[in-house]
């Protein structure tokens, strides 16, 4: 009986060892990679802006360049912008933008050449169409430069003791350059601050009566802050760690 028990025990031990040998080795599953969703600047946007503008208008004689008058002013400007950006090569962004602003820039000037008349001028609006290139130092920040074309309109008049004796309205085109920074404050919202210089081509102005008011050289500088709503059609950038 004792021999039978010992024999069965040996058989059981051998069978268990054999079964263990036939089992596959235990596998360890690697934890999935962490996926980080990084905001992207790719997408289109629309928004508004407000700020300060400085105008400098010089009127000179068309023939010899002799100065006739200079008009300067500082005023509030504000308007809107629309554009699209594309982020590429990791941290670089290119884009296009159209911006239009109304302004309260207006000034008057007297000079010995004009005496006894006073020259008045106002800039009701200006607009730009620009390309932008920027760098993303952090996911929510964009530093950029911009440049392109600029357009404006000017209303002017000549008065004698407060009475309008002649008027002129004219438009000018030119170029613009600027720089700024933009910050994503939420998934679809960003705020920005920027500086722009707008330089316009000289223009000989003929008044409503047919008189020659002179050659006008004009430029505008602005400092603006604004808010954009971003549609983010490009979606987020997915990075694995």
Query: What domains can be seen in the chain, in order of their start residue?
Result: 41-235 (2.40.128.90)
Task: Flag whether pLDDT at 40 surpasses 70.
Answer: yes
What is the reported pLDDT for 45? 98
> Which two three-digit tokens encode residue 68?
């006739």
For 162-188, write each residue's pLDDT tens digit: 999 999 999 999 999 999 999 999 989
Q: What is the mean pLDDT of the chain?
A: 88
The pLDDT tens digits for 97-112 are 999 999 999 999 998 9
> What's residue 12's pLDDT?
46
Say how many C-beta atoms besides its own lie within 10 A of residue 36's C-beta: 12
DSSP letters for 52-83: EEEEEEEEE-TTT--EEEEEEEEEEEEEEEEE
- pLDDT tens digit sequence for 43-102: 999 999 999 999 999 999 999 999 999 999 999 999 999 999 999 999 999 999 999 999
Structure tokens, 238: 């997915």
Is the pLDDT assigned to residue 234 strictly greater than 60? no
Q: Decide if pLDDT at 241 tops 60.
A: no
**Per-residue model confidence as pLDDT tens digits over 120-157:** 999 999 999 999 999 999 999 999 999 999 999 999 99
Residue 6's pLDDT is 43
Residue-level pLDDT at 33: 57
Point out the least confidently predicted range of 60-74, 186-200, 223-237: 223-237
Intra-chain end-to-end CA distance of the chain, in Å: 66
Structure tokens at 240: 């694995």
Lowest mean pLDDT among 87-96, 204-213, 231-240: 231-240
* pLDDT above 90: residue 1: no
Q: pLDDT value at position 235?
A: 57
Beta bridge partners of 99: 81, 128
Beta bridge partners of 79: 49, 101
Other beta carbons within 10 Å of 190: 21
- Is residue 26 over pLDDT 80? no
């Amino acid at each position: 009986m004792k021999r039978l028990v010992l024999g069965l025990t040996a058989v059981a031990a051998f069978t268990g060892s054999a079964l263990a040998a036939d089992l596959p080795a235990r596998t360890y599953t690697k934890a999935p990679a962490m996926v980080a969703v990084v905001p992207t600047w790719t997408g289109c946007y629309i928004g508004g802006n407000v700020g300060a503008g400085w105008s400098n208008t010089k009127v000179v004689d068309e023939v010899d360049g002799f100065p006739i008058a200079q008009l300067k002013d500082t005023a509030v400007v504000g308007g809107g912008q629309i554009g699209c950006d594309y982020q590429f090569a990791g941290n670089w962004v290119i884009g296009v933008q159209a911006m239009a602003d109304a302004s309260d820039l207006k000034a008057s000037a007297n000079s010995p050449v004009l005496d006894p008349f006073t020259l008045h001028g106002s800039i009701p609006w200006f607009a730009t169409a620009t390309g932008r290139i920027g760098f993303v130092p952090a996911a929510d920040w964009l530093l950029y430069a911009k440049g392109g074309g600029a357009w404006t309109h000017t209303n002017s008049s000549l008065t004698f003791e407060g009475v309008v004796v002649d008027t002129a309205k004219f438009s000018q085109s030119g170029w613009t350059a600027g720089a700024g920074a933009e910050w994503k404050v939420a998934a679809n919202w960003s705020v920005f601050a920027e500086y722009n210089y707008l330089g316009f081509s000289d223009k000989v102005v003929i008044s409503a009566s047919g008189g020659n008011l002179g050659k006008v050289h004009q430029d505008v500088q602005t400092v603006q802050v604004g808010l954009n709503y971003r549609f983010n059609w490009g979606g987020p950038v997915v990075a694995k760690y």
